[in-house]
Structure 1
Amino acid sequence: MDSLGEQKPGNPADISAITREPHFAAEVLLAEYKTLRDEILKKMDHRTSMVVCSVTVSSAALGFGVERASGPLLLVSPLVSLLLGTLIVFQNAQIGEASEHIRRTIEAPLSATFAGFEGWHHTKRDPRYRLRQRLFSYHLPLILIAVAPAAVAVPLALANPKPLALTTPILIVDLGLLTVYVAQLVKHRNLV
């Protein structure tokens, strides 16, 4: 305000008047919802790309390792699959967090205000239901894509440990990555 008590344009008081308008709040809410949905879709696309990359690269490394009977080359397969598996768990957790935010801050208030309103995220809110519904068709295949190369490559690498000086450190890294992967699955079990 100036010395005469009038508001100057661009003053913080102007903004607070705008932000108290219901239309403004609805626009912000709609923009946030759209942005979060777009982010979820992008993360889902990234996750799909990582799954394809994991299967392709780990299968190729496993095939080359078997063909050459090379322990170190065999152990590259679980290295790739576990690294990408951990990133996939992270993507799933971020998708779950965005979905939970939409559910809690957008859909739940709308559901409480408007009888009969049920948003998609709100109807899929029970993690136990989601786990049961998607265990064999989604969760188990993703876990196997990350872990199966280790289950195949480690015994083969131990049977062909040439050269041992390279096999041992890669095996230690693979086991460490397996531990990290399992820890991330447990940590984010309610979001994925």
Structure 2
Amino acid sequence: MKEEYQDINTVPEDTNAEIVEEVNEEQSTSSLEQEPVSIAEMERLQALADENQLRVLRTQADFDNYRKRTQKEKEEFAKYASTKLITELLPIVDNFERAFSAVVEDHLNESFSKGMNMIYRQLEGVLQAEGLVAMESVGQTFNPEFHQAIMQVESEEYPEGTVVEEVQKGYMLKDKVLRPAMVKVSQ
């Protein structure tokens, strides 16, 4: 039977009281009047001491496990703390990419396009510094952990089960898939 205590001061009084009472009874007898302790009594006291020792060891092990678990949770939280913000920024990155693909070369819009491109590259640099990496999908074998198939298409260029086209980029944050790529897969 395992008992868990939040604080050392919350150990049940009766457990402590038993031990204190036994020690007091043994000490109250004067050394001249003290009777020899029977083997059964010694074995009982040894069993009690062993039980208390096991409780202490279990409590120490539980605390050590708790400390390691909370340390690991803190590290995990710090590693992926920016996940929510990056997830909310991904549609903005997508819109930048769509805007660049729709830009018509025009001398009037050339400086505007260069400025937008500089802003996009700056945003991309910040996201990469946080550990965001775009996944390369086209030509890869379809993997449901990294890809979300939205359509199957006939393809003579690619073998069956290969990503033919990327409809929306997928991203990884450090070693975790943040957003799977939406892809078309060959039949």
Greater helix content: 1
TM-score normalised per structure 2 = 0.32
From the CA coordinates, give the structure whose radius of gyration is larger.
Answer: 2
Greater strand content: 2
